[in-house]
Amino acid sequence: MTNTPLFIPVILGTPRQGRQSEHVAKFIVEQIATRDDVETELIDVRTIAIPTNDAGESIKDPQFSATVERADGLIIIAPEYNHGYPGLLKHLLDTCLKEYIHKAVGLCGVSAGAFGGTRVIENLLPVMRELGLVTIFYDLNFTNVQDLFDESGNLIDKQTYIRRLDKFMNELVWMSTVLRYGRQKVNQ
Amino acid sequence: MTNTPLFIPVILGTPRQGRQSEHVAKFIVEQIATRDDVETELIDVRTIAIPTNDAGESIKDPQFSATVERADGLIIIAPEYNHGYPGLLKHLLDTCLKEYIHKAVGLCGVSAGAFGGTRVIENLLPVMRELGLVTIFYDLNFTNVQDLFDESGNLIDKQTYIRRLDKFMNELVWMSTVLRYGRQKVNQ
Amino acid sequence: MTNTPLFIPVILGTPRQGRQSEHVAKFIVEQIATRDDVETELIDVRTIAIPTNDAGESIKDPQFSATVERADGLIIIAPEYNHGYPGLLKHLLDTCLKEYIHKAVGLCGVSAGAFGGTRVIENLLPVMRELGLVTIFYDLNFTNVQDLFDESGNLIDKQTYIRRLDKFMNELVWMSTVLRYGRQKVNQ
Amino acid sequence: MTNTPLFIPVILGTPRQGRQSEHVAKFIVEQIATRDDVETELIDVRTIAIPTNDAGESIKDPQFSATVERADGLIIIAPEYNHGYPGLLKHLLDTCLKEYIHKAVGLCGVSAGAFGGTRVIENLLPVMRELGLVTIFYDLNFTNVQDLFDESGNLIDKQTYIRRLDKFMNELVWMSTVLRYGRQKVNQ
């Protein structure tokens, strides 16, 4: 089995002006850079121009598709909007299909309220499954997100979140590794 | 209590090219026109230009907002995309908030497969609730939608769907009537 | 329209030994007793003996059925077990059907963790709807429940929860009142 | 990596009198017996006596626990009750925890209506995930189940369901194999 690093891009799931999720994404990408078993890159829904007069695979963005195709796993940062997922995140996710199959995903819920985006995570579960992704059973939750970062966009209580991210990444790396083995070695 | 007709617009929830949901919307709007207790109009997510570099109430479309504000209930036609809702439908729904409160909604699931969009309906339930809408407990399901309409976009088995729509509308009219009474007469 | 008090029983949704939800139920029942617009009583899933070799309406408990039949609304106290609802709560709920229709329900999530039972609430939503209940859009959440009560089972920070319960009850009373009007006065 | 057959028990998820799911379970168990890569056995919620005055791991049934512990995957047959799962299925599932972790599960929805238990499957997804199970993305759906079996409890259109079961089992075997490799060979 290959020992090359896993490729696990981070999807920043909202284009909202003033989005706090951008700080969350920056933190996660920076922390992953300190690991030697994972490579990552940021995918920002704001910067991928897909049409809004259509939906689905017919408006696939070649670069997004290639990135997901190459990925062993994904991290999705999803702020909770009305207990559901951001529309433009779903609009993007729906443009691919086979690219996701038998890969791992870790979900990161972000909320201005007290419950850490737990509801957007529940709302994403059936979609993740239908895309062929395996959602790991440890989440990241950013509660009261507007209070978590300083003016420079750095986490105030960084050590707490590093510990949680480590636990999350360990599970995501395990699942991504196992599924990569499966895709490469186990006949379907 | 007022006896003026209820205003229940129909939201066509996908901009996809070749959308079968457009035929569903046309059927529903035409049938409602035969009732004297309900007025309707079609809201097409394809024709409402809202920005894609932001999300939420800051990109409210004044006409959509005014229409929902005036509504007593809504019908949402939602094709099932990867067991979830169309992204651009959610992007639109998220632009309003108080406009929805204490109004009724009936959900119409559309699917190319055998299960009539049941999964997009389940996926919408927590979002409807958080918006303040009351989802009625009778749905419309359009199964194998590509086989249901003739070349002119008319339902082949029209009588079956008229019966189902009548049952759906009776429940939606009941709930819309009751909630309108509540908004007008019962203190909060 | 009738001005008799609303009848809104409280269902304590777990028989677990050492259940903290019992304290939650006691608090809610005691607070409701201070209102003159609502009557309540406690329904404890532990004390209703229904068979376990069957399921559904054939094992209806006459007293539970009569209580729900008489109710204008319900409060369900649901601890979160593996992100779902307690099995015996569902086993009981499934024994009735018409008794629930067009009545209001308020959900109270209880969790030993940080997220106040938000996930059991999401998991209950489709069930509530199918039973014909209208779930209000304000919940009660008891987070880290093992730390909330003193040795006598009284809330330590009682004022906070009284404020939340008032908001919850106001919405539940509004919806119960409106739906009672509908059941009594609006033809179906 | 071991080539011993996978052990994938089938959980019959309702004790209801007259349950059609029993025929479904019999069909699945018999078909699996024809494969040499999988061993199975039937777990019937009706025959496992767990207390109803408690909930969770404290009322673990030793034999059920040992069976799940030994399993590489599970098949859960879940009839849809009010768009949710049978209470006694959940009551049983909640008695274990570590036994499930990093194992595969395939879901089989059963419905008297037209939609094949799709809604009980959606309702189970968050629970499966929290238990540590990986739900495969191909389901079995038994629609209008009361019409599918003859008087002897045999499928009338057996070939159709054998084809679907093969596809389901291939995916479940793949995921069970891959996760078994992970549990045995990949450090956590």
Residue of C nearest to D119 (CA): C126
Cα(B84)–Cα(D114) distance, integer angstroms: 20
Average pLDDT over residues B49-63: 97
Give the distance, in angstroms, between the CA of residue B10 and the centroid of all CA atoms in the same chain.
5
By Cβ distance, the residue of B83, B116, B123 closest to D115 is B116
Q: Would you say C165 and D120 are in contact if contact means Cβ atoms under 8 Å apart?
A: no
Average pLDDT over residues B119-147: 98
Question: Considering only CB atoms, which chain C residues are within 8 Å of A138?
Answer: none
Residue of D nearest to C87 (CA): D87
Q: What is the pLDDT of residue D119?
A: 98
- Report whether pLDDT(D1) > 90: no
Closest alpha carbon to D103 in D131, D62, D64, D76: D131
Q: Which DSSP string do the residues of chain D spell out, in sequence order?
A: ---SPEE--EEE----TT-THHHHHHHHHHHHTT-SSEE--EEEGGG----SS--SGGG--HHHHHHHHH-SEEEEEEE-BTTB--HHHHHHHTT-SGGGTTEEEEEEEE-SSTTTTHHHHHHHHHHHHHHTEEE-S--EEE-SGGGTB-TTS-BTTHHHHHHHHHHHHHHHHHHHHHHHHHHHHS--
Cα(C73)–Cα(C66) distance, integer angstroms: 13
Cα(B158)–Cα(D146) distance, integer angstroms: 27
Q: In Å, how far are A157, B16, B44, D166 from A91, measured between CA atoms?
A: 33, 11, 17, 33
Chain A: nearest CA to C121, how far in angstroms? Answer: 9
- Interface size, chain A vs chain D, as Cβ–Cβ contacts under 8 Å: 50
CB contact under 8 A, D114 and B143: yes
CB contact under 8 A, C186 and B177: yes
Residue C65 neighbours by CB under 8 Å, 6+ apart: C95, C96, C99
Burial of residue A177 (number of CB atoms within 10 Å: 0-12, 13-18, 19+): buried
CB contact under 8 A, D115 and B141: yes
Average pLDDT over residues A43-69: 97
By Cβ distance, the residue of D54, D92, D129 closest to C17 is D54
> Strand pairing partners for D7?
D39
Give the model confidence (pLDDT) of A113-166 as tens digits. Answer: 999 999 999 999 999 999 999 999 999 999 999 999 999 999 999 999 999 999
CB contact under 8 A, B115 and D141: yes
The token duo for A176 is 């991504």
Average pLDDT over residues B67-90: 98
Question: Considering only CB atoms, which chain A residues are within 8 Å of B129?
Answer: 83
Burial of residue D76 (number of CB atoms within 10 Å: 0-12, 13-18, 19+): buried
Give the model confidence (pLDDT) of D18-27 as tens digits. Answer: 999 999 999 9
Q: What percent of chain A has pLDDT over 90?
A: 97
Q: Which residue bears the tokens 């007025």?
A: B39
- Report whether pLDDT(A2) > 90: no
Cα(D101)–Cα(D116) distance, integer angstroms: 28
Average pLDDT over residues C75-100: 98
Question: Considering only CB atoms, which chain D residues are within 8 Å of C129?
Answer: 83
By Cβ distance, the residue of A16, A56, A91 closest to B56 is A16
- Report whether pLDDT(C41) > 90: yes
Q: Can you list the positions of beta strands (E) in chain B? A: 6-7, 10-12, 38-39, 42-44, 73-79, 103-110, 133-135, 140-142
By Cβ distance, the residue of C122, C134, C181 closest to B134 is C134
> Across chain D, which distance is largest between two alpha carbons, in Å?
51
Give the model confidence (pLDDT) of D81-130 as tens digits. Answer: 999 999 999 999 999 999 999 999 999 999 999 999 999 999 999 999 99
Residue B121 neighbours by CB under 8 Å, 6+ apart: B78, B107, B109, B139, B141
Q: Would you say C7 and C51 are in contact if contact means Cβ atoms under 8 Å apart?
A: no
Q: Give chain A's domains with CATH numbers.
A: 6-185 (3.40.50.360)
> Strand pairing partners for D39?
D7
Angle, to 10 degrees, between the axis of helix A118-131 and the axis of helix D118-131? 110
By Cβ distance, the residue of A114, A119, A141 closest to C122 is A119
Residue of B nearest to D115 (CA): B115
- Report whether pLDDT(A1) > 80: no
Closest alpha carbon to A179 in C36, D174, B77: D174
C1 pLDDT tier (thresholds 50, 70, 90): very low
Residue of C nearest to D133 (CA): C82
D30 pLDDT tier (thresholds 50, 70, 90): very high
Q: Which residue bears the tokens 């089989």?
A: D108
Asked whether this complex has an ipTM greater than 0.90, the answer is yes
B51 pLDDT tier (thresholds 50, 70, 90): very high
User: Which partners does chain B have (≥3 C-beta pairs < 8 Å)?
Assistant: A, C, D
Full-prediction pTM beyond 0.90?
A: yes
Q: What percent of chain A has pLDDT over 70?
A: 99
C73 pLDDT tier (thresholds 50, 70, 90): very high
Burial A54-74 (b: 16+ CB within 10 A, else e): bbbeebbbeebbebbeebbbb
- Report whether pLDDT(A56) > 50: yes
User: Which partners does chain A have (≥3 C-beta pairs < 8 Å)?
Assistant: B, C, D
Chain D: nearest CA to A43, how far in angstroms? Answer: 25
Helix (H) or strand (E) holding A38: strand A38-39
Give the sign of the dihedral formed by CA C180, CA C182, CA C185, CA C187.
negative
Q: Enumerate the H helices of chain A as residue ranges.
A: 21-32, 62-70, 87-93, 118-131, 158-185
Residue of C nearest to D54 (CA): C16
Average pLDDT over residues A31-59: 97
Give the model confidence (pLDDT) of A12-37 as tens digits. Answer: 999 999 999 999 999 999 999 999 99
The token duo for C2 is 């009738």
Cα(B39)–Cα(B17) distance, integer angstroms: 28
Residue D40 is which amino acid?
T
